[in-house]
Each structure stands twice: as structure tokens, then as C-alpha cells.
Chains A and B, each alone.
Chain A
Amino acid sequence: MFLRRFAGPLLGKVKESTGLVGLEVVPNAREVLIKLYKETLESVEDIPTYAEYRKAVEKFTRFRLKVCEEEQEWEKIEQRINGGQVEELIVMAKDELMLMDKMKEWKPWEVPEDHKIEIIQDDTPIPAHVPRHRSLFTLDPFVPPPKEEVERENERLRKRAEEKTKIGAQ
């Protein structure tokens, strides 16, 4: 039992340096990553399910968590995730957590009803001074999620907030 625990870091390759100024090597990167991703998945519960932001965060966090749990060595983790070094992944996960707190305050998924988004796609090589504006289509008005879903999610979030205050008060 103890052999496995202590021989883990000895068996794997030791990383000497990240090659990036200011980023130090984190020897137990895998555990740190797993902890951060689990925290992210828990923190995402405070965002309603109909928000695209939540779907995006869950998608890549789940994939990266799965890779980290399956592979033991940092080299293989880096190869499979293909998003840079493990230390960079740690920085990205921390940034995402920080961003999520702010997104919960700002709530960019609550769109007013007459909000229009225009999308223009322009591939032809024209000189830059010629004014062209070809709007392919407009997402107007922005299609809000059905009201029952919004109400259901608000209920769930309210209950979650209450539970948190109770736990904090105890």
C-alpha cells in the first residue's frame, strides 16, 4: 500500500523546468488539477442549465478531469489534453474559477427580449476602403429559454443559496 503511494512520483519522469519564465514546476500537478476541476464542476451548479456558458465549462472540465483521472503521468496528461503544459493548465483552471465567480454576478445569459445579434460573414478579397455590409442572417430577437425552465432553475438556485447560508450560519 505504501509502496504505491511513495513510488508514484519516483517512477514517473521528473520535470526539470517548464521552460516558461515565472511558471514553476508543480510536482503534484495531477492532484492539483483534479482538485481544481472538481471545484469547478461544483461551482458550475450555481449557473442555470440553459446557459451556454455552463454547457461549455462542463464540457471541457469533464473531459480534462477524465483524462487526469485515467492517466498517472504528467506527460501523458499533457499529450492527451493537448492544451499546453500541466502548470499552464493549472493557471487556466484557476482563472476559470475566478471568472465563474464574476459571471455569476454579471449573468450574461439573461438577455433582454429585444436584443438582436447581427452576424456578417465576409470572405471575398475586397480593398479595405470599400464599404461592404452583407448580413447573412440576424439572430433576432434572441430566443430566450422557455419560462418553465427559467422558473425551475431560479427555484433550484434559490434553494441552493438558502442551503449555503444555513451551512454558513451553523
Chain B
Amino acid sequence: MTYNRLESFSIVLLVPKWIHRVQSKKQESTFYVTPDHPYEILLFFRCHINTRFDVSIDICGVNCPSQEQRLRVLYQLPTTQYNSCIRIKIGVNEITIVSSVISISPSAGRWEREVWDTSGVHFSNYLGLCRILTDYGFEGHPLRKDFPLSGYVEVRYNDLEKCVVYELIEMAQEFCYFDLASPWQA
């Protein structure tokens, strides 16, 4: 029994209070959910017999600066029972706290830490929420659109002090000659 888009509309009717948009492309549906209820909707999707979306493969954070809700948390859930996949999106801003789903699927622990580290979405009810991919003492959230590609700080080994030193970034422009008169001639 494959789960197709006709059924995605019937799912909306089961939990209408929490969903405010459904997008279905080919055979994958995306549900846009109100930001207060990720825990409830994930538990519903996991336990309800028609929608046994019990695995949590990915939780990632997306930064869309043009939208009102700047940050989005995206949950990807496949089902082993019905062999399909859905996506759940939540739109939050930088200060909103989202409830953690770690009690439903423990693998979410690692994903939520990554979302906190890269995009800055804070999760409640999570005891060990700390950085996982960036350096110790790193400030800022790298996957946000206002964070520059090269970052703010660079690291180098200082011979005098015999240790690794953090300094503000310095980009040497030795081999760049910006002659904007004509791009084709040397």
C-alpha cells in the first residue's frame, strides 16, 4: 500500500488544528505545521496506524531571510510499513524555542544539536543541547545567510608563543589584480 497524495489530504483532516499548509509533489508530501506542535504531530505520525512514520532520518535547519519566519526546521520521516516519505516543516524566528522530539525518536538528539549549531534554533526539554560540528568556543551560526563564507576568525600556529592562535581573518590579495576596465584583456 503506497501512500499517495490523495491520502495526504485525508491526513490533514485528521489533525486540522496543527497543519496550515500541505504541498505534494509527485509522491512526496510536505506538511507545514504550526511551530508550537512538533512533538504532538511527530507522535501522531509515529503511532497512528494509517501513518506509521516511525523513523527520523533527518532534521535540518534552513534559513530563508526573505520570509517572515526566518528559520525553518525540516523533519524527514519515512515509513517502513508503507514505503514512502513525508516532510514536516516548521517556521520559526531566531528567538522562538521549539519543543524537542528526542523522547519520540532518540536519534533526533544529534540532529537537533546540529540545527542549534548551524542555524541557531533552540530546543526545549533537551538536556545536552550544545555545539556538535563547530569549534570549541565558536560564536555565531554558520549556515545562516548573514554569516560570511570564510567566517570571522582564522587559526594559525604562532612560533613565538608555540601554540595555536585565533585571530581575525586576513585575506591577502596578492595575486588578485582588480582591473575593471576590461575583463578580457590581461
Contact surface of A with B, Cβ cutoff 8 Å = 52-53, 56-57, 60, 82-84, 92-93, 95-96, 98-99, 102-103, 106-112, 115-123, 139, 142
- The answer to whether B47 touches A96 (Cβ under 8 A) is yes
B5 within 8 A of A: yes
B19 within 8 A of A: yes
Assuming the contacts A83-B81, A99-B48, asked whether A106 and B40 have C-beta atoms less than 8 A apart, the reply is yes
- The answer to whether B50 touches A56 (Cβ under 8 A) is yes
Assuming the contacts A108-B16, A108-B40, A109-B17, asked whether A120 and B47 have C-beta atoms less than 8 A apart, the reply is no
* B10 → chain A closest CB, angstroms: 8
B12 within 8 A of A: yes
Give the contacting residue for A118; candidates B14, B22, B40; CB below 8 A. Answer: B22
- The answer to whether A118 touches B46 (Cβ under 8 A) is no
- The answer to whether B24 touches A122 (Cβ under 8 A) is yes
Which among B43, B48, B49, B50 has the greatest number of chain A C-beta atoms within 10 A? B49
B21 within 8 A of A: yes
Residue of A at shortest CB range from B27?
A: A123
B residues less than 8 Å from A93 (CB atoms): 49
Whole-angstrom CA separation of A106 from B42 in the bound complex? 13
* B158 → chain A closest CB, angstroms: 43
* A167 → chain B closest CB, angstroms: 28
B residues less than 8 Å from A120 (CB atoms): 21-24
B95 within 8 A of A: no
Whole-angstrom CA separation of A137 from B151 in the bound complex? 44
* A114 → chain B closest CB, angstroms: 11
Residues of B41-56 at the interface with A, using a CB-CB cut-off of 8 Å, are: 43-44, 46-50, 52
- The answer to whether A118 touches B25 (Cβ under 8 A) is no
B15 within 8 A of A: yes
Contact surface of B with A, Cβ cutoff 8 Å = 1, 5, 9-10, 12-26, 40, 43-44, 46-50, 52, 81
Assuming the contacts A120-B24, A122-B24, A122-B25, asked whether A99 and B43 have C-beta atoms less than 8 A apart, the reply is yes
- The answer to whether B14 touches A92 (Cβ under 8 A) is no
Give the contacting residue for B16; candidates A56, A60, A109; CB below 8 A. Answer: A109
- The answer to whether A60 touches B50 (Cβ under 8 A) is yes
Whole-angstrom CA separation of A83 from B51 in the bound complex? 12
Give the contacting residue for A119; candidates B14, B22, B26, B40; CB below 8 A. Answer: B22
A residues less than 8 Å from B16 (CB atoms): 52, 108-109, 111, 115, 117, 142
- The answer to whether B81 touches A84 (Cβ under 8 A) is yes
- The answer to whether B14 touches A108 (Cβ under 8 A) is yes
- The answer to whether A99 touches B47 (Cβ under 8 A) is yes
* A29 → chain B closest CB, angstroms: 16
Residue of B at shortest CB range from A93?
A: B49
Assuming the contacts A60-B50, A96-B47, A108-B14, asked whether A121 and B20 have C-beta atoms less than 8 A apart, the reply is no
* B77 → chain A closest CB, angstroms: 15
Whole-angstrom CA separation of A53 from B44 in the bound complex? 11
* A139 → chain B closest CB, angstroms: 8
14 pairs from A and B in contact (CB 8 Å cutoff): A53-B14, A93-B49, A99-B43, A102-B43, A108-B14, A108-B15, A109-B16, A117-B12, A117-B21, A117-B22, A118-B20, A119-B24, A120-B22, A120-B23
